[in-house]
Homo-oligomer: A and B are copies of this chain.
Amino acid sequence: MEKLLMTPGPTNVPERVLNKMNEKMIHHRTSEYSNLFREFNERLKFVFQTSNNVLTFPSAGTGALEASIANCFSTGDRILAVSIGDFGDRFIQIAKIYGLTVDEIKVPWGKAVSLEEIKNNLKDYHKGLIITHNETSTGAVNPIKEIGEYLKDKNILYIVDAVSSLGGIDIRMDEWNIDVIVTASQKALMSPPGLSFVGVSKKAFEYCKVSNIPKFYFDFLNANKFLEKADPQNPYTPAVSLISAANEALAMIEEEGLNNVFLRHKILADKFREEIKGMGLNIFTDENALSNTITAISFENANDIKNRLEKEYNIIVAGGQGAAKGKMIRVGHMGCINEEMIYRTMNAIREII
């Protein structure tokens, strides 16, 4: 049995994408690269559903999340932050490291924040709101759309961590008034890990101009300056082979159609959870906050289930994080995912229990 990655990233990479990486190396300061990068940027904008520029960095998603804080804010700025799990906590930790004053809305694990809680906690003095779209540690999704609509015309920067959702769940940067969205290559975008992507609104660039936090490699304004050249470029050597691979993955998403991709994720997620519940197992996540890219299943003996899936079935899933360590398995179903993979995973779990 072939190895199957049912993890919340890195996810399975289609052969068509993998094959792009062993093409002969090209140099980045050439028109050949600029043409590739131009096409890539147009495709990123398509998946981000935005007319804003989307910046690309060689880095993990965490690097770009940190960059969104270091670029958009100044030491002492006060922001509102929502955490519904481990990755929300990490985002808050980063903001604090950079000297921001962070007012926190902490939601119990497994649940999403409500628009009401945002309304009750958001004050005029908040310069930004940072929030996770899809909380990878709990499988819960925040109501990004409703919050964005509420924030329209408010004097606040809306920053969304969409690392484990963008490309798998509908997220409309422009329509939902999002100022900064961060994602990475190895999740729903079904590319190898090593690239992060940041959609940045014109409003966010204005915030960048007055930020007093030191930065260099992740400087948004500088990256944008290079991107806007007639022959688009990067300030520092880009990860050419990863960009070439991710460009192919985005082409596949374009060919399938964005809405079809979202629908496929939804159908497979629903199918998977229906079967899991049918086995008498407990989904950890509140049923009003279920993610289409990841499912967290509660188990007393989670480590055992995880190990047996790997050893006996060659299926890799993730364990629990933080307080949920040993108490859940997290099954990723995003990116290059189809019915057969879902069935293989369901059947393996059924046989084990």
> Is A110's beta carbon under 8 Å from chain B?
no
Q: How far is the CB of A74 from chain B (nearest CB, A)?
A: 12
Chain A stretch 197-249: residues in CB contact (< 8 A) with chain B: 213-218, 235-242
> Is A334's beta carbon under 8 Å from chain B?
no
> Is A83's beta carbon under 8 Å from chain B?
no
Chain A stretch 1-52: residues in CB contact (< 8 A) with chain B: 2-3, 5, 7, 9-13, 15, 18-19, 21-30
- Given A193-B240, A239-B192, A240-B10, the answer on whether A62 and B217 have CB atoms closer than 8 Å is yes
> Is A167's beta carbon under 8 Å from chain B?
no
Report B-chain residues with C-beta under 8 Å of the C-beta of A213: 214
> Is A289's beta carbon under 8 Å from chain B?
no
> Is A88's beta carbon under 8 Å from chain B?
no
Q: State whether B29 touches A318 (Cβ < 8 A).
A: yes
Report B-chain residues with C-beta under 8 Å of the C-beta of A62: 216-217, 235-237
Report B-chain residues with C-beta under 8 Å of the C-beta of A28: 10, 193
Q: How far is the CB of A47 from chain B (nearest CB, A)?
A: 19
Q: State whether B22 touches A3 (Cβ < 8 A).
A: no
> Is A94's beta carbon under 8 Å from chain B?
yes
Smallest CB gap from A9: residue in B: B237
State which of B18, B21, B60, B186 has its C-beta within 8 Å of the C-beta of A217.
B60
Smallest CB gap from A190: residue in B: B25
> Is A141's beta carbon under 8 Å from chain B?
no
Q: State whether B237 touches A193 (Cβ < 8 A).
A: yes
> Is A99's beta carbon under 8 Å from chain B?
yes
> Is A89's beta carbon under 8 Å from chain B?
no
Chain A stretch 53-74: residues in CB contact (< 8 A) with chain B: 57-63, 66, 70
Besides A5-B27, A10-B27, A193-B239, 8 other A-B contacts (C-beta < 8 A): A7-B27, A18-B22, A21-B21, A59-B63, A59-B217, A62-B237, A97-B215, A97-B216
What would be 27 A-B contacts, judged by CB atoms less than 8 Å apart?
A2-B24, A3-B24, A5-B25, A10-B25, A11-B25, A15-B22, A21-B22, A21-B192, A27-B316, A30-B310, A58-B58, A58-B59, A58-B193, A59-B59, A62-B235, A62-B237, A63-B236, A66-B216, A186-B237, A192-B241, A193-B239, A194-B239, A194-B240, A194-B242, A239-B242, A241-B242, A242-B242
In the A-B complex, the 3 residue pairs with the smallest Cβ-Cβ separation, listed nearest first, are: A194-B239, A60-B236, A21-B21
